[in-house]
Structure 1
């Protein structure tokens, strides 16, 4: 994956410290299991929260790394994805990087509107005629909505994927676009890049 070979020292050190702390917490949990005859669910919860925090900071770093040169509205995109996730509103958002995308997607409605959280959330509101399609973003503009993205033909993962996730992977297989996808079943957020799906939140793949 692009950018992984030359991680900034500050980020690398932060991740090392965070993972060391997690390892220590897991060690404490193992000690608790061996030494105490009590419920350890709260200890598991503490480890789980720490893991999720590390996962979130890592996902945020990579999203910024891959999108910062192409859009100034990363915070809008991440905040909107989180809001859609909490509401269990499915979403499919492609951010143009270097490759042209308009010839790779089909049947979209041109918008050419300023990117905003309210507009994105309105597009993906259940019942909106455009909510099942994908949004195409370039810079700080929503170019079109209701697009049909090509479905993946190369995915060989063990987990079953739904239409949105296959479309996210499919477009990233034939372009350098980064595609954010929100599951309407669980609210899980992922992004596809280079034909690979990466979780932004820990959890299982859903349709």
Structure 2
């Protein structure tokens, strides 16, 4: 994960503890792989699969930790945002949430419907409820407010391997390529959560005890 050059001065203890545990697990699996290489008749493919899985889990934990670190300087509502994406993930309600940081993004988006309301997780969840007229675009968060909803973001043409990403993920990456905004995505197909920043997208864990 490529980290943005900002001062990280936060302490989300459960996430930090889980990240340390994940890194230790990687070390254990790598050492098992090295030991397996010394056995001539041992197939290493199984160990490599375990190492890959352990790396993926560590990446998700690390992304979740840094997500909260990146959010906290720009909004006091990161716990509400975390709660919201946890609930949306469980229900598999698709969502696209833009957290504006230093760059104003007005010139990069097609503006939707003005909201101008204090951010709460329940209000944010209700916007993305299927059938809500505003659920299909992106919500823009400025500081502690839901500034607007149903915004249209620029699409990226990025590919992951040979597969093209879905519209929400392309929109998240597209805006993050043009600004320093952090964009959260909840997939309605899988319930998986990711965030885009600086033109890259990262999966995050959605276990409530670790998000908060």
**TM-score of the superposed pair, with normalisation by structure 1:** 0.76
- Structure 1 residues 54 and 156, CA, compared in 2 at 3 Å: closer, same or farther? closer
- Number of paired residues? 186
Does residue 71 of the first structure (1) align with residue 75 of the second (2)?
Answer: yes
After superposition, what is the alpha-carbon deviation per residue over 1:129-151, rounded to whole angstroms, capped at 9, x for unaligned? Answer: 11110000011100000000111
Please tell me the root mean square deviation across aligned C-alpha atoms, in Å.
3.3
> Which residue number in structure 2 is paired with residue 95 of structure 1?
99
- Alignment partners' CA distance in 2, 1:88 and 1:7: 31
> Which residue number in structure 2 is paired with residue 126 of structure 1?
130
CA positional deviation for 1:57: 3.3
- Alignment partners' CA distance in 2, 1:100 and 1:117: 23
- Structure 1 residues 53 and 145, CA, compared in 2 at 3 Å: closer, same or farther? same
Larger deviation, residues 11-20 vs 70-79: 11-20
CA positional deviation for 1:66: 1.5
CA positional deviation for 1:127: 0.4
- Structure 1 residues 24 and 77, CA, compared in 2 at 3 Å: closer, same or farther? same
- Structure 1 residues 77 and 5, CA, compared in 2 at 3 Å: closer, same or farther? closer
- Alignment partners' CA distance in 2, 1:14 and 1:199: 16
Does residue 156 of the first structure (1) align with residue 159 of the second (2)?
Answer: yes
- Provide the secondary structure at the position in 1 that maps to 2:106: coil
- Alignment partners' CA distance in 1, 2:16 and 2:185: 27
- Alignment partners' CA distance in 2, 1:51 and 1:195: 21
In the alignment, which of 84, 88, 100 is matched to residue 84 of structure 1?
Answer: 88
> Which residue number in structure 1 is paired with residue 210 of structure 2?
none
Does residue 20 of the first structure (1) align with residue 28 of the second (2)?
Answer: no
- Structure 1 residues 86 and 98, CA, compared in 2 at 3 Å: closer, same or farther? same
- Structure 1 residues 187 and 99, CA, compared in 2 at 3 Å: closer, same or farther? same
> Which residue number in structure 1 is paired with residue 3 of structure 2?
2
- Alignment partners' CA distance in 1, 2:137 and 2:18: 38
**TM-score of the superposed pair, with normalisation by structure 2:** 0.74
> Which residue number in structure 2 is paired with residue 191 of structure 1?
195
> Which residue number in structure 2 is paired with residue 165 of structure 1?
169
